[in-house]
């Protein structure tokens, strides 16, 4: 049995301004993702200059934050949002949804691709292998913040979260960091090391994340105000991962047909 290390979620206090570790993990994630996408862009046929990659990462960041917050309110706290629609802007209260963030990222990528005259599917293939890095940092931020703890367990590496209760629980944040973060990153980088038909890399990400998330939910404590949402055991995270995996299969199968030319220069 291990004890949660009781990490102070505030990394730095500057007078009235508190800089939280969770925010720093987001900044680190966006920075590292930007570097990875730039390196991938240099090895692909997608004609995006480094300056355009910076714009792309900025759009992705806005999609993650905006979509993540709105998705949380819709998927996990709809009644509170309907009672107070402005609550969606109260980010300091906490509450971000990966699946909502993913929708936000897709919208951001679609806007960027349209503006650049590029294919959304090809831009998605470019970005997809870098996303697990952000997920790993995000789950580490969850662990530092002492949130999204796991279900009770008797495994030797179980952890007591004193701010929750005295039960030994799965450190599910670390499971997710290792699965949907590190393992998925390694698999996607390996898969994307050679040219693939358009849509295959992005499709592999959608399928891979859905599988890792579905499995991790068996160790993660369901949200207290939701509990299981179907069949007395299916969680919201698992439910939302099902259409995600289906979208990945469709993208894998038909992405190359729908991708179109690399950019607008090929249309003439």
Residue 153 lies in a domain: yes
Phi, psi of 227 (to 5 degrees): 65, -165
Phi, psi of 131 (to 5 degrees): -60, -40
What is the chain's alpha carbon radius of gyration, rounded to the nearest angstrom? 19
Residue 3 lies in a domain: no
Residue 268 lies in a domain: no
Task: Give the pair of three-digit tokens for residue 140.
Answer: 């580490």
> What is the rounded distance in angstroms from the CA atom of residue 175 to the CA atom of residue 120?
31
Residue 64 lies in a domain: yes
Residue 1 lies in a domain: no
- Count the Cβ atoms, other than its own, within 10 Å of residue 28: 15
Phi, psi of 121 (to 5 degrees): -65, -40
Instruction: Give the tens place of pLDDT for each residue, 157-187.
Output: 999 999 999 999 999 999 999 999 999 999 9
**What pLDDT, on a 0 to 100 scale, did the predictor assign at position 266?**
38
Instruction: Give the tens place of pLDDT for each residue, 96-149.
Output: 899 999 999 999 999 999 988 888 999 999 999 999 999 999 999 999 988 999
SS3 169: strand
* pLDDT over threshold 60, residue 245: yes
- Known binding residue 115? Answer is no
Residue 2 lies in a domain: no
Residue 151 lies in a domain: yes
Instruction: Give the tens place of pLDDT for each residue, 189-198.
Output: 999 999 999 9
Instruction: Report CA-CA distances (Å) from 181 to 109, 139, 188, 191.
Output: 21, 8, 11, 15
Query: Residue 103 belongs to what domain range?
Result: 9-263
> What is the rounded distance in angstroms from the CA atom of residue 253 to the CA atom of residue 248?
9
Instruction: Give the tens place of pLDDT for each residue, 36-63.
Output: 998 888 877 666 766 788 889 999 999 9
251 contacts 202 by C-beta, under 8 angstroms: yes
User: Could you give the number of structural domains in the chain?
Assistant: 1
66 pLDDT band, cuts 50/70/90, is very high
Instruction: Please give the model's pTM, rounded to 2 decimal places.
Output: 0.91
């Amino acid at each position: 049995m291990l004890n949660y290390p009781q990490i102070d979620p505030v990394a730095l206090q500057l007078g009235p301004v508190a800089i939280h570790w969770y925010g720093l993990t987001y900044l680190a994630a966006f920075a590292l993702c930007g570097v990875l996408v730039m390196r991938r862009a240099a090895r692909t046929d997608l004609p995006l200059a480094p300056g355009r990659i910076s714009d792309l990462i900025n759009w992705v960041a806005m999609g993650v934050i905006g979509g993540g917050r709105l998705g949380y309110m819709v998927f996990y706290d709809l009644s509170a949002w309907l009672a107070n629609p402005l609550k969606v802007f109260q980010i300091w209260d906490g509450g971000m949804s990966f699946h909502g963030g993913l929708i936000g990222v897709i919208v951001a990528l679609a806007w960027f691709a349209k503006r650049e005259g590029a294919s959304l599917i090809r831009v998605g293939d470019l970005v997809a292998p870098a996303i697990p890095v952000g997920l790993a940092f995000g789950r580490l931020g969850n662990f530092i913040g002492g949130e999204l703890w796991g279900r009770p367990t008797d495994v030797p590496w179980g952890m007591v979260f004193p701010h929750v209760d005295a039960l030994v629980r799965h450190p599910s944040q670390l499971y997710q960091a290792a699965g949907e973060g590190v393992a998925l990153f390694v698999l996607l980088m390996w898969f994307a090391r050679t040219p693939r038909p358009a849509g295959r890399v992005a499709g592999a990400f959608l399928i891979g994340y859905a599988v890792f998330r579905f499995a991790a939910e068996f160790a993660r404590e369901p949200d207290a105000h939701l509990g299981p949402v179907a069949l007395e055991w299916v969680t919201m995270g698992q439910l939302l991962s099902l259409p995600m995996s289906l979208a990945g299969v469709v993208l894998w199968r038909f992405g190359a047909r729908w991708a179109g030319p690399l950019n607008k220069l090929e249309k003439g």
